[in-house]
C-alpha cells in the first residue's frame, strides 16, 4: 500500500507526542493544543465530507485571519479538496471573477460580507456558502460543532491538487496556479531542513493567511516541526516587539522589517531569544539588511519564491547570507539564468551575466487552472518554468534578482498588475488613456502611481480617480498618487515608455 501523499497526513505524522502542548496562541491569550487542532480539523473535514461534493471540489475562502481559518485550510486538505484562498481586500468585481473562474462548490466568507458574496456565489452555481468570523463565529462553525471529531484523512497522490492560488498575468485576467500535495510537501520538507527548524522553536506568525508566504512557508514550517505559533491577526510593529522575547522564528515581507526598524525598542537584547529572521516576497534593500544587523545582531535570511513555485532559492542558515541576493537554489530545485540567442532561446548566461530566471523541480506547479495554452507558453520545451524575473547567478551559485520582465509592481509584498488598474482608469469618463507604474516608497518598497491623460475639456481630479478605484478594487492596488499629463511618452513602436515615467515621477 503506497503512503498517503496527502499533505495533512504529513503534518499529522509530525504532531508532537504530547498533544496537550500548545499549537496556536492568540493575542487574546487563547491556547489551542495540538489535540484541539486535530479535533477541530476533523469536525470541519466531516462537515465538508457530508456535503457530498465532487471529488475535485474547490473550497474558496475569503475570511479574516484566525485559528479557525487555518483549521479550515487543514480540513480542506484532510477531506481531499482544493483550497482557494482569497485576499480579504478583494472587492465584488474581483471576487466575481475568481468564483466565476474557479467554480468552487463551497464558498466561505466573513459574516459581514455574506450578502454580496453569497449573491455572487449562488449566481455562479456554488451550492454552499458559509460564514466564518474572526471571533469563533459564523455558520461554518455552527454546523461543524455537531460533527464527529475524528476523520480518516482522504488518500491523495502527490500529483493531486491541494490548492489554487490566483496570480495575475501581464495581459488578461488572473490565472489560478494549481499546486499539488507533492509540490507543497516537498517544499515544506526542504525548508524544514534548510532553515534548521529545531526543538523549542516558536514562530511569531503575523503574515496574512491567503498567500504563499503566510499560509505555506510560515505555517507549514511550524506544523512540520510540531512548533507553537503565536498567531497574530496582522502585522503590527509595536505588537511584534512585545512578543519577540517569546519567539524564535519570524518571517515577513521587507515592509515588516522597515517598520520594525522604526521601533525604538528594536535592539539586540529585544531579540535575544530569536534564532532566525526571514524575509521574502519582495526585494530587501541593502540599507534594511545592514541596519537590521547593526541594531539587532541578526543577519536577515532572504529567500525567493512565487505562487507558481513556492520557494525556490534561499540564503543558507549556516554560511554566508549575502545581502542583495536571494541565496542559492534549494536542494532538488534547479535554477538557470538564460538569454535568447539566434540558435537557442534559452542559452545559459555566464556567471554574473543578467538574463531570465527559469526553474524546474518538485516544487513547480502543475499548471494554470483551465488554461492549458497559457501553461504551455510559460514552460520551456525542456520543462523549465519561466519566472518572469530577471537576475544573475554568481560563481558560487548565489542568485540576485535585478528586475522583472513581467510588468508587475510589488507593494508591501502584494502584487499589483498595472494592466488591470489601467483598464479600470481607462473606463472613467473623460480619461483618454493611462499608465500605471511603481515608484520607490519608503514603507511599501514600491507604490502604485497612475499617470493619466484626460480629454481636453474633462475636469477630473486626483481624488476622484482614487475614490472611484477604491469602490471597485482592493485598496492596496489603488494608486497612492495620480498625475495628469498631456501625452504618454512612446517609443518608435508606439509602446508607452514606462521607464521614462518611472524616472519622471519617482
Residue numbers at the binding site for ligand MLC (CB under 6 A): 207-208, 211-214, 235, 253, 255, 280-281, 305-306, 411-414, 444, 475-476
Q: Which of 285, 330, 322 is nearest to 304 (CA)?
A: 330
Between residues 147 and 326, which has the closer beta carbon with respect to ligand AMP? Answer: 326
Reduced to 3 states, what is the DSSP secondary structure of residue 478?
Answer: coil
The one-character DSSP state at 505 is T
- We find the least distance from the C-beta atom of residue 46 to ligand MLC, in angstroms, to be 31
206 within 8 A of 257, measured Cβ to Cβ: no
202 within 8 A of 228, measured Cβ to Cβ: yes
Distance, in Å, from the CA atom of 366 to the CA atom of 178, rounded to the nearest integer, reads 6
Q: With CB under 6 A as the contact rule, which of the stretches 79-87, 122-130, 202-210, 274-282 interacts with ligand AMP?
A: 274-282
Distance, in Å, from the CA atom of 177 to the CA atom of 388, rounded to the nearest integer, reads 15
Residue 475 interacts, among ligand AMP, ligand MLC, none and using kind-specific CB cut-offs from 5 to 8 Å, with: ligand MLC
Using rule CB under 6 A, residue 282 touches ligand AMP:
yes
- We find the least distance from the C-beta atom of residue 302 to ligand AMP, in angstroms, to be 5
With CB under 6 A as the contact rule, the residue among 415, 436, 473, 478 that binds ligand AMP is 415
Q: What angle do CA 309, 334, 183 make, to 5 degrees?
A: 35
- We find the least distance from the C-beta atom of residue 136 to ligand MLC, in angstroms, to be 23
Q: What angle do CA 432, 437, 441 make, to 5 degrees?
A: 140
Q: With CB under 6 A as the contact rule, which of the stretches 130-138, 386-394, 471-479, 496-504 interacts with ligand AMP?
A: 386-394
Question: What torsion do the CA atoms of 212, 117, 81, 330 make, to the nearest 10 degrees?
Answer: -10
Residue 64 interacts, among ligand AMP, ligand MLC, none and using kind-specific CB cut-offs from 5 to 8 Å, with: none
Q: How many residues bind ligand AMP (CB under 6 A)?
A: 19
Using rule CB under 6 A, residue 305 touches ligand AMP:
yes
With CB under 6 A as the contact rule, the residue among 280, 355, 361, 418 that binds ligand AMP is 280
Per-residue x/- mask for ligand AMP, residues 126 to 165, rule CB under 6 A? ----------------------------------------
Rounded to 5 degrees, what are φ and ψ at 77?
-60, -50
Distance, in Å, from the CA atom of 452 to the CA atom of 293, rounded to the nearest integer, reads 41
- We find the least distance from the C-beta atom of residue 113 to ligand MLC, in angstroms, to be 16
C-alpha 60, offset from chain centre: 15
- We find the least distance from the C-beta atom of residue 98 to ligand AMP, in angstroms, to be 15
Q: With CB under 6 A as the contact rule, which of the stretches 55-63, 108-116, 364-372, 381-389 interacts with ligand AMP?
A: 381-389
Contacts of 333 (CB under 8 A, 6+ apart): 190, 312, 313, 359, 360, 361, 362, 363
With CB under 6 A as the contact rule, the residue among 48, 240, 306, 329 that binds ligand AMP is 306
Q: With CB under 6 A as the contact rule, which of the stretches 85-93, 121-129, 214-222, 297-305 interacts with ligand AMP?
A: 297-305
Name the region of 399 (left: φ>0; alpha: ψ -120 to 50; beta: rest): beta
Angle between helices 92-102 and 114-123 (to 10 degrees): 40
The one-character DSSP state at 398 is -
Cβ atoms within 10 A of the Cβ of 422, count? 20
- We find the least distance from the C-beta atom of residue 281 to ligand MLC, in angstroms, to be 3
Residue 90 interacts, among ligand AMP, ligand MLC, none and using kind-specific CB cut-offs from 5 to 8 Å, with: none
137 within 8 A of 111, measured Cβ to Cβ: yes
Residues 200-219 that bind ligand AMP (CB under 6 A): 212
Where b means 16+ CB within 10 Å and e means fewer, 163-184 reads: bbbbbbbeeebbbbbbbbbbbb
Between residues 53 and 63, which has the closer beta carbon with respect to ligand MLC? Answer: 63
The one-character DSSP state at 269 is G
Using rule CB under 6 A, residue 304 touches ligand AMP:
yes
- We find the least distance from the C-beta atom of residue 438 to ligand AMP, in angstroms, to be 12
Between residues 103 and 134, which has the closer beta carbon with respect to ligand MLC? Answer: 134
Cell output for 21: 502542548
With CB under 6 A as the contact rule, the residue among 25, 160, 302, 356 that binds ligand AMP is 302
Rounded to 5 degrees, what are φ and ψ at 148?
-65, 150
Residue 167 interacts, among ligand MLC, ligand AMP, none and using kind-specific CB cut-offs from 5 to 8 Å, with: ligand AMP
Give me the residues that bind ligand AMP (CB under 6 A), please: 167, 212, 280-283, 302, 304-307, 326, 387-389, 401, 404, 410, 415
Amino acid at each position: 500500500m503506497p503512503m498517503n501523499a496527502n499533505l495533512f497526513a504529513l503534518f499529522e505524522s509530525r504532531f508532537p507526542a504530547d498533544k496537550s502542548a500548545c499549537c496556536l496562541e492568540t493575542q487574546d491569550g487563547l491556547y489551542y493544543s495540538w489535540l484541539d487542532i486535530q479535533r477541530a480539523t476533523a469536525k470541519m473535514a466531516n462537515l465538508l465530507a457530508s456535503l457530498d461534493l465532487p471529488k475535485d471540489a474547490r473550497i474558496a475562502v475569503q475570511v479574516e485571519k484566525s485559528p479557525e481559518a487555518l483549521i479550515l485550510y487543514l480540513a480542506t486538505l484532510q477531506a481531499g479538496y482544493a483550497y482557494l484562498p482569497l485576499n480579504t481586500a478583494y472587492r465584488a468585481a474581483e471576487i466575481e471573477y475568481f468564483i466565476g473562474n474557479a467554480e468552487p462548490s463551497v464558498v466561505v466568507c466573513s459574516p459581514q460580507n455574506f450578502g454580496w458574496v453569497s449573491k455572487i456565489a449562488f449566481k455562479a452555481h456554488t451550492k454552499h456558502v458559509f460564514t466564518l468570523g474572526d471571533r469563533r463565529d459564523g455558520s461554518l462553525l455552527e454546523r461543524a460543532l455537531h460533527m464527529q471529531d475524528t476523520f480518516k484523512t482522504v488518500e491523495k497522490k502527490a500529483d493531486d491538487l491541494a490548492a489554487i492560488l490566483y496570480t495575475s498575468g501581464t495581459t488578461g485576467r488572473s490565472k489560478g496556479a494549481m499546486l499539488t500535495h507533492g509540490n507543497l510537501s516537498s517544499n515544506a520538507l526542504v525548508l524544514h531542513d534548510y532553515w534548521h527548524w529545531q526543538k523549542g522553536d516558536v514562530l511569531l506568525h503575523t503574515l496574512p493567511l491567503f498567500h504563499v508566504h503566510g499560509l505555506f512557508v510560515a505555517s507549514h514550517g511550524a506544523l512540520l516541526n510540531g512548533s507553537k505559533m503565536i498567531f497574530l491577526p496582522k502585522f503590527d510593529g509595536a505588537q511584534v516587539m512585545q512578543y519577540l522575547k517569546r519567539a524564535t522564528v519570524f518571517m515577513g515581507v521587507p515592509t515588516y522589517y522597515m517598520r520594525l526598524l522604526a521601533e525604538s525598542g528594536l535592539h539586540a537584547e529585544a531579540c535575544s531569544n530569536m534564532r532566525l529572521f526571514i524575509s521574502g516576497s519582495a526585494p530587501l534593500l541593502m540599507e534594511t539588511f545592514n541596519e537590521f544587523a547593526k541594531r539587532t545582531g541578526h543577519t536577515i535570511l532572504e529567500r525567493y519564491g512565487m505562487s507558481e513555485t513556492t520557494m525556490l532559492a534561499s540564503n543558507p542558515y549556516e554560511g554566508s547570507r549575502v545581502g542583495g541576493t536571494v541565496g542559492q537554489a534549494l536542494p532538488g530545485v534547479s535554477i538557470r539564468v538564460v538569454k535568447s540567442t539566434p540558435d537557442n532561446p534559452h542559452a545559459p548566461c555566464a556567471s554574473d551575466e543578467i538574463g531570465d530566471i527559469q526553474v524546474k523541480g518538485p516544487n513547480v506547479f502543475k499548471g494554470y487552472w483551465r488554461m492549458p495554452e497559457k501553461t504551455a507558453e510559460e514552460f520551456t520545451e525542456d520543462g523549465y518554468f519561466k519566472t518572469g524575473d530577471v537576475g544573475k547567478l554568481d560563481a558560487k551559485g548565489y542568485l540576485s534578482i535585478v528586475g522583472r520582465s513581467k510588468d508587475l509592481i510589488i507593494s508591501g509584498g502584494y502584487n499589483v498588475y498595472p494592466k488591470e488598474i489601467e483598464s479600470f482608469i481607462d473606463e472613467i469618463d473623460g480619461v483618454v488613456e493611462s499608465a500605471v507604474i511603481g515608484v520607490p516608497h519608503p514603507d511599501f518598497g514600491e507604490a502604485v502611481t497612475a499617470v493619466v491623460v484626460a480629454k481636453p475639456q474633462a475636469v477630473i481630479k486626483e481624488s476622484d480617480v482614487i475614490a472611484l478605484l477604491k469602490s471597485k478594487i482592493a485598496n492596496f492596488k489603488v494608486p497612492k498618487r495620480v498625475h495628469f499629463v498631456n501625452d504618454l511618452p512612446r517609443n518608435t513602436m508606439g509602446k508607452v515608455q514606462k521607464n521614462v515615467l518611472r524616472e519622471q515621477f519617482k
